[in-house]
A and B are shown apart, each in its own frame.
Chain A
């Protein structure tokens, strides 16, 4: 789950990472109230989960109430790369002497954690990595041992952060690492991390991605979920516990397993169709799961046919078949359903469906055949 900047800053604050004083605002009046409370000048920042906010006019400085009204009014409702701004973050403006970059993420090839630190922050780190790779100091961290203050001190020196910033930055990096590990982040990034003229160091932005697999031990993540989805289909799927991603095509997809679901999208595409969604029902597709999956896809007006692609492993095909029949009793599905069933208990599953097959419930022997049929029905 990607967090908005304001959520990331709230998450940072839990781990003692210094951020600018500020608050969220959903209207011009709220923005004004926040500004009056924290004091001018303030920065008004669009809360969208996409980069390039500044260039799009989504970040503005305001010195007084009139400017807050003007900028907050302009930014709310602004469309930034397809994301409409509904919420603002208003914070005290900081004087900046230097901008740094800091992040932690998983180094997948080496199976360790990777810290990246640069004295050249404020711009996209990909650009720095491309144009001046020596400006980034990489630190490989053994997940068993973690990051201690001594190592962090050597690291800030190696990255050539300015002298007055080093001690505070080292302490902040240890906290950021704690946030990354204890807070179960896939990514914890600060860009820019700033040094002010009076020599304090704090985070001016926050980019945090949380690892959904760890949600069972983070009840505090609940508050982030309310605003998680912009796509109503994805919101509906999430409420039903489904792993769904909305796309723009006409063939609704239900598959078991992420790889097979991805492959189903690919094959539908190869035979001339377009997928309306990615939906992995995972292992154990009982009637409730199948009914929920069909319901979500049925709610998508673009869908013209539904391709159910099941290769049983831990999922048992007879359960899937019963699930489909049960689901059809509960929900009226507008589009024809094409099923391909193989794997664990496939013979039993096909036998269960056999008496119910008609021109709205069709089986095909292979994945490719089923894809062609579903695409033909959709086109």
Chain B
């Protein structure tokens, strides 16, 4: 099984007619994902390489029965696109857009919680989700993932998500689902959402978690793991050498005072029984060892 998506998930791409939308939307389709439409206001009735374009999400949903959307539009349009998806009947929204103002994210997140409680947002500023062999929504290169499980991956960082997939696939260890939750201050889906879904997924036998400096999501995840997780977890936290007070690229990756350090996160995770590793390669090897022992 997979979490959040599967081989039957029908996906529309908001922004399919743009450069990035076209490249990644079609790549998702070529991977085998059911990409059933695109949405660009004013371009309804046209198509992108055979994928029909609709003027609005509502039209696209009515015509195709899509339940998921891949939002790949510039920052100033992303919040509206997310809300339009929810209003149009989409229940799983993946937004890869980087550079959305934090206040917009906070408003959008709370609007979803208040007005569309059944909707899950993944991202923004995330690589998306891939369930190898079934569905790939986002910008992950499908060929670095390996189908068949038994590992679930959840990561706050885009490129480290790929690194994690790569480390496992190279050694023949497959994944059930790999979720990139993104590095922004207000992620729609957090570690605990994913850990809980992996815990409930019978095919996922172990979980790899990639964190980074800033915020307290890793510490909260550690607390949750301690009380709820029976499956083994391997973790890597990026930014051990990051200086305090400097944003390391991601809006969320900043050590404020003594809070948000990689060491504090690693300590909290280790205390919760998680196998904490010092780099992605070590985390990959540890996971291979655990999978062999299952």
Contacts and interface: CB of A to CB of B under 8 A. Distances in A.
Interface in A54-71: none
Given A111-B110, A214-B103, A282-B98, A258 B250 contact: yes
Interface stretch (B4-12, B41-49, B198-206, B233-241): B233-241
A269 B114 CA distance: 45
A373 to B, nearest CB: 15
A109 B100 contact: no
Contact of A111 (B139, B186, B249): B186
Nearest to B19: A284
Contact of B159 (A111, A142, A269, A313): A313
Interface string B106-128: 11011101100000000000010
Interface stretch (B29-37, B60-68, B146-154, B278-286): B278-286
B241 A266 contact: yes
Contact of B248 (A181, A261, A313): A261
Contacts of A212: 251
Interface string A168-211: 00000000000001001010000000000000000000000001
Nearest to B245: A2
A128 interface: no
Contacts of A261: 248-249
A343 B141 contact: yes
Interface string A294-311: 000000000000000001
A157 interface: no
B106 A266 contact: no
A311 B166 contact: yes
Contact of B210 (A111, A211, A259): A259
15 contacts: A108-B185, A109-B216, A109-B217, A109-B220, A111-B109, A112-B106, A113-B106, A213-B99, A213-B251, A217-B76, A258-B250, A261-B249, A262-B248, A311-B166, A314-B139
Interface of A: 106, 108-109, 111-113, 126, 142-144, 181, 184, 186, 211-214, 216-217, 243, 245, 247, 255-263, 265-267, 269-270, 275, 278, 280, 282-283, 311-314, 342-344, 366-368
Interface of B: 20, 24, 75-76, 96, 98-104, 106-107, 109-111, 113-114, 127, 139-141, 144, 155-163, 166, 183, 185-186, 210, 212-213, 215-217, 220, 236, 238-243, 246, 248-253, 257, 262, 278-281
